[in-house]
Amino acid sequence: MSLWYPPHNHKSLAEFYCDVKITHITSFVEHPQTNGQAEVVNKVLLGQLKKRLDGAKGKWPAELLEVLWAYRCTPKSSTNKAPYTLVYGTNAMIPVEIREPSMCQQHHDPQSNDDYMNTHLDLLYETREKARIRDLATKLRVARRYNSKLKPRSFHKGDLVWRMASKAQKHEGKFSPAKPYT
């Protein structure tokens, strides 16, 4: 079996994405707000790692795989599906189910399992579309709730507004003061 990898230089990689109809979106470390979803995931993963380590900070590489597995197999509230399910079309077996004999393992039939998996793969597009619609509906509800609490304000020329004090140094990180409006 041979593996195919996309080209390594930027121009041919862009052509490859165009050929397979992939929209490539970049995110910059300088502007973390462009990658808010990644920061949310990182926050969840770090929180779970902290809970599992309890002071043994050097053990995080050993715990990371289990935390990632749990994250990927847990249904998300916005889609009501686990990321694993949206990729593979079926729920994952948790490690306890693999180690301990269960009804599924005792009555396992490879042919019926293959048929079941093929059926779920055929329905995967529909499952993903339902998850996408549910995610959009969740985002609309959150936006509606947020916008209902906003107080509209308008500023006119000559109005006094509060400006943040500026530093002469270049942007130092995500916790440094924002640049003032000029």
**Cβ(131)–Cβ(83) below 8 Å:** no
Q: Please determine, for residue 178, whether its predicted confidence score (pLDDT) is greater than 80.
A: no
Give the pLDDT of residue 49: 81
Q: Which residues contact 181 (CB under 8 A, 6 or more apart)?
A: 163
pLDDT of res. 8: 54
pLDDT at 69: 84
Q: What is the reported pLDDT for 141?
A: 92
Over residues 32-53, the mean pLDDT reads: 73
Tell me the chain's radius of gyration from C-alpha atoms. 24
Task: Give the separation between CA 171 and CA 178, rounded to whole angstroms.
Answer: 8
Query: What is the C-alpha separation between 128 and 120, in angstroms, rounded?
Result: 12
pTM value > 0.95: no
pLDDT at 133 over 90: yes
* Cα 177 from Cα 182, distance rounded (Å): 15
For 150-163, what is each residue's pLDDT tens digit? Answer: 888 888 888 887 77
Q: What's the CA gap between 167 and 179, in Å, rounded?
A: 8
Contacts 24+ apart (CB under 8 A), 81-86: 81/127, 81/131, 85/127, 86/124, 86/127, 86/128, 86/131
User: How far is 63 from 46, CA to CA, in rounded Å?
Assistant: 11
